[in-house]
Amino acid sequence: MALALQTKGLVKKFGGLTATNDVSLTVEKGARHALIGPNGAGKTTLINLLSGVQKPTAGRILLEGDDITGLSQHARVRRGMVRTFQINQLFGDLTPLETIGLAVSERNGLGMDWWRVAGSKRALLEEISSVLERFHLADVMNERTAILPYGKQRLLEIAVAIACQPRVLLLDEPAAGVPEDERHEILASIAALPADVTVLLIEHDMDIVFSFAQKISVLVNGGLFVEGLPDDVARDPRVKAVYLGEEAHV
Amino acid sequence: MSSATSSILRRASDSLSARVRWHPLEIIFWIVAFAMIWLMPTRHLIMTEIAWLGLFALSLDLIVGYAGIISLGHAAFFGVGAYVAALLAKHELINEPVLALLVAGLAAMAVGFVTSFLVLRGTDLTRLMVSLGVALMLRELANQFGWLTGGADGLQGVVMQPILGLFRFDMFGHNGFVYCLVVLFVLFLVARRLANSPFGLSLVAIKNNPLRAAAIGIPVDQRLIVIYSIAAFYAGIAGALLAQTTSFASLDVFSFDRSADLLLVLIIGGTGYLYGGLIGAILFKLMQDYLSVLTPQYWPFWIGALLVAMVLIGRDRITAWNAPLRHLAAKLDWRATRRAAAAAAAAEDR
Amino acid sequence: MLTILFDGVAYGMLLFVLACGLSVTLGLMNLINLAHGAFAMAGGYATVVLVNNFGVPFFLSLPLAFLVAAVIGLVMERAVYVHVYRKPHLEQVLLTIGLVFMAVAGTDYIMGSTQVFAQTPEVLQGQFQFFGVGIGRYRLLIIVVCGVLAIGLQAILTKTRFGSRLRAAVDDQRVARGLGINVNAIFALTFAFGSGLAGLGGALGTEILGLDPTFPLKYMIYFLIVVTVGGTSSITGPFLASLLLGIGDVAGKYYVPKLGAFVIYTIMIVVLIWRPNGLFSRASTK
């Protein structure tokens, strides 16, 4: 089966600390792949390396077979790999409509267009509206993002990434901080992604992980610890030990 | 397409096109501005100054208000524009002012493009330092190349030819004012278009959150380089207008005071909506006119006091002075009212 | 040649005393303070007035200059600066530019716009030869005073309880607060002390730098260079940066007088491109 994303011997050091330790991960095309691990295991660092926010100390990253290790963040997005953030990273002064509109026009290469009015193309408008509708943002589309309730901001956080039409989507704890009763909106929107979109999910919440993932990788102390089908990982005594160990600390 | 989707689409389309629609107050603003050509002919000299200062502040707004870059050296580009325009006229290289204006703007733009790479790096403080350093360096250069620039005495003996070969720069500044106003208006239209384009939106996104901007595929550095260069072009044009209307350029065009005053001009009017620089320029010049007659030497003291007061009281609260105006504006905008009514009716249908 | 080096070192040390307060306040509160030179000017004028008008001995006027500037610094910190710590950098820039303008015009109003000097005692005038190197007495005094101060500061920072608290607060304010360190008080004290040092530097510097109301504007860029090039993580960085700047400036003006300040600006820009966080800063990014 074709690989969507692959890392080879990925290492990231901060001074004396090794945050990512020789990670060789493979994510198959169309996979629903989850990355779990106790606090401080280096999950977010790994996402930062994959998306280009940080440069690895050593190792390579391949996207659909091409080496993207040296590419900038935006170039990776243009190649179809998009991420979300654990803590909302939104544009406070823009409205959801403008935010989604921006993402859609960037993807269509209109970012440097300084003459045409934003959103004057019918096809783009249709796309923008459909994203707004799918993520239940239509009723607040003209509010400033900064004043939206947290739940809506979280939806927008995911919606912006979807508006980039990723082929590989990196979700960093999409339901973080969202109350139980509002989670289904976010989870449903993720579940509704087309089957050919590859999803790498980082999550703390085991219910979400096991309801969603077809494959699970466990990260401990920056290194890949166990990998396998959800049932196998759930039964693995080493994984239990790691998580129990963590709880013992807490 | 479902009816819900098509209603969303219509609303989205409406909101996006509302961004660019001309507000009645904007139209009034420009009608009044052009009416000044006939209304107050004796005040055209100061109005000329307001026009180029407004353009200069508009250019700063593009980088501060839209892209979020703090610059303490915007006078660098103003100065380049001024000297280029003055030199072109003095050595009769390009005699036609409009063409010379364009060349001066492009020269400033080139300097802006080169220095933008320096300004991109680092934090607010290093940006500030580098922008300030560039302006000081250019001033020093202009000072050292006295044979070309006249050094500390300034560049004298500039004789301007008629605009388009038709309109002479008269000593009362009538034609000069019309010239500056037209240039300002044209460049304002372009800036307005730009601010409402996807490009303009991407700048605000970068200002708000550069990390996320990159994560949705916006090449952050490239956008900043482009807007910095455009702003430098605008500043260069403003400087060239000064040089052309006064037939003079001196080291003072590069000075730190000029960059600092400019920040004040923009702050008085408010950032990020394009009119801030223009309104600020009007208020600033009127204030200067008044205060500097009172205490010519200590005029900087009042500028300083105003800056301190604005920050301490809070800029949000100060720019709230136009809240009643905005309220009035909303009422005036009958199209908005009609839209609101339509929306309310639609909501009742549901 | 060695004389130039000597003058450069004196100049650099002076710059260090003038600017080190700025470096600490920037590191501690992430505050961009463009008005730092105003405190130096206050110290300078204090000395001039005390010596010339009241006949206070020059050496006694130096600690007084420190005090005057420190008190002004403390008052300004509590009254004005405290409001902008949490505001964006643009607000800080606007506020402190405003203060600079007020200081310049206000001083002009009170003291007049001409350059002033303090009468220095005879011991400090002229120069003597030392192994063929011309040593200016006044510059020697500067090196001694500033050298002692630099060593003293380093000792305070590394050896005392206050110093360790200060370093903790610079490293991570949140954690420092959590440990029960009164960051606000530390900052007020540091700000006052830094202003005092600037005042002392201003007092010492009247002879070399000249003193007139435009002082804060003229030397603003120099202070900022010291801070940005030196980084804010230690005082060794600004110290080395000051020496470099001092020597570079004096040598530049001596060997290539035609280029003037051009050399310094060029060096600054090159350094900032090469190391945006400063030449001597730790490699870590905050």
Residue-range domain boundaries for chain C: 2-274
Q: B114 in contact with C at a CB cutoff of 8 Å?
A: no
| Residue that finishes a domain, picked among A124, A147, A164 | A164
Q: Which of B30, B51, B48 is nearest to B174 (CA)?
A: B48
Domain boundary among A141, A164, A187: A164
B219 CB within 8 Å of a chain A CB: yes
Chain B interface includes A93 (CB < 8 A): yes
| Neighbour order of strands in the sheet with A223-228 | A81-83, A168-172, A198-202, A32-36, A215-220, A223-228
Q: Which of A114, A127, A167, A170 best probes binding to B when mutated, by most B CB atoms within 10 angstroms?
A: A114
Measured between CB atoms, does B320 come within 8 Å of chain C? no
Say how far apart CA A217 and CA A220 lie, in whole Å.
Answer: 10
For residue B40 the two structure tokens come to 């107050």
Average pLDDT for residues A85-93, to the nearest whole number?
A: 93
- Whether the CB-CB separation of A150 and A90 falls below 8 Å is answered with no
Structure tokens at B245: 């209307």
Within this chain, do residues A243 and A180 fall inside the same structural domain, yes or no?
yes
Alpha carbons within 13 angstroms on the beta-carbon side of residue B295 total 10
Q: Bridge partners of A23?
A: A10
Domain boundary pick from A117, A148, A164? A164
Tell me the CATH architecture of domain C2-274: Orthogonal Bundle (1.10)
User: Which helix or strand (DSSP H or E) is residue A132 part of?
Assistant: helix A122-134
Report CB contact under 8 Å: B9, A163. Answer: no
What is the per-residue pLDDT across C217-237, written as a single tens digit (0 to 9) for each? 888 888 888 888 887 767 788
Q: Is A231 inside any structural domain? A: yes
Domains and CATH numbers, chain B: 40-294 (1.10.3470), 299-340 (no CATH)
What is the percentage of chain B residues whose pLDDT exceeds 70?
A: 89
- Tens digit of pLDDT for each residue in C172-208? 777 778 777 787 888 888 899 989 999 999 999 888 8
The beta-carbon contacts of B320-323 under 8 Å, at least 24 apart in sequence, are B322/B270
The pLDDT-based confidence of A248 (bands split at 50, 70, 90) is very low
- B208 at the A interface (CB within 8 A)? yes
Cβ of residue B178 closer than 8 Å to a chain C Cβ:
no
Mean pLDDT of A56-65: 93
Looking at the complex, does the CB of residue B18 fall below 8 Å from at least one CB of chain A?
A: no
**Residue A111 placed within a domain:** yes
CATH code, domain carrying A73: 3.40.50.300
Tell me how far apart the alpha carbons of residues B239 and C220 are, in angstroms, rounded to a whole number.
25
What tens digit of pLDDT does each residue of A63-86 get? 999 999 999 999 999 999 999 999
A224 vs A216: CA distance, rounded Å: 11
Which of C92, C272, C279 has the most B C-beta neighbours within 10 Å, making it the best mutation to test the interface with B?
C272
Q: Does B200 touch chain A (CB under 8 A)?
A: yes
Minimum Cα–Cα distance from A146: chain B residue: B208
A40 and A50 together in one domain: yes
- Residue C14 sits at the chain B interface (C-beta within 8 Å): no
Let me know whether A159 and A173 are in one domain.
no
Residue B116 confidence (pLDDT) above 70:
yes
Q: Which amino acid is at C26?
A: L
Banded model confidence at residue C283, pLDDT cuts 50, 70, 90: very low
> In this structure, what token pair is assigned to residue C61?
């006027």
Mean pLDDT of C144-153: 88
Is the pLDDT at C58 greater than 50, yes or no?
Answer: yes
Which residues in chain B touch residue C265, judged by CB atoms under 8 angstroms apart?
133-134, 136-137, 140
- Residue ranges making up the domain that contains A66: 1-80+166-250
> What local confidence, expressed as pLDDT, does residue C66 receive?
94
How many other β-carbons are positioned within 10 Å of the β-carbon of residue B347? Answer: 8
In a domain, A85, yes or no: no
Q: Kindly determine whether residue B144 and residue C265, on different chains, have CB atoms separated by under 8 Å.
A: no
**Do B308 and C80 form a contact (C-beta atoms < 8 A)?**
yes
- Give me B17's structure tokens: 């096109």
Alpha helices in chain B (DSSP H): 3-20, 24-39, 44-61, 75-90, 97-120, 124-144, 146-149, 174-195, 198-208, 210-215, 220-246, 256-269, 275-294, 299-313, 315-318, 323-332, 334-349
* pLDDT score, position B97: 92
Q: For chain A, how many structural domains are there in total? A: 2
For residue A212, the distance in angstroms to the closest alpha carbon of chain B comes to 24
Nearest CA in chain B to A132: B8
> What is the C-alpha to C-alpha distance for residues C238 and C250, in angstroms, rounded to an integer?
18
**Best mutation target, B64, B118, B129, B136, to test chain C (most C CBs within 10 A):** B129
Interchain contact C63–B (C-beta under 8 A): no
Tell me the per-residue pLDDT of B217-265, one tens digit each, with 9 for 90 and over: 999 999 999 999 999 999 999 999 999 999 889 998 998 889 988 999 9
Residues 160-199 of B with CB under 8 A from A: 193-194, 196-199
- Domain-located, residue A133: yes
Question: What is the complex's ipTM, to 2 decimals?
Answer: 0.90
Instruction: Please tell me if residue B55 touches chain C, with a CB cutoff of 8 Å.
Output: no
Residue C257 has pLDDT above 80, yes or no: no
Which of B123, B299, B304 is opposite residue C100, by nearest beta carbon? Answer: B304
Residue of higher predicted confidence among C178 and B43: B43
CB–CB of B198 and A92 under 8 A? no
Average pLDDT across chain A, whole number:
87
B282 has a pLDDT exceeding 90 = yes
Q: Which is more confident, B342 or A141?
A: A141
- Kindly report which listed range (B237-241, C95-99, C253-257) carries the lowest average pLDDT score: C253-257
Give the Cα separation of A227 and A25 in Å (integer): 9
Asked if C97 is an interface residue toward chain B (Cβ–Cβ < 8 A), one would say yes
Alpha-carbon gap, residue A213 to A206, rounded angstroms? 10
Give contacts of C277 with chain B, Cβ < 8 Å: 122-123, 126
User: Tell me, what's the pLDDT at B342?
Assistant: 55
* Residues A203-226, mean pLDDT to the nearest whole number: 88
Does the pLDDT value for residue C151 go beyond 60?
yes
Q: CB under 8 Å to C10, separation ≥6 — which residues?
A: C136, C139, C140, C142, C143, C208, C246
Return d(Cα C101, Cα B307) in angstroms, integer.
9
Note whether A172 and A72 are same-domain residues: yes
In single-letter form, the type of residue at position A81 comes to M
Contact criterion met (CB below 8 Å) for B7 and B346: yes
Count interface pairs A-B at CB distance under 8 A. 152
Cβ partners under 8 Å of residue B130, min gap 6: B73, B115, B118, B119, B121, B122, C269, C272
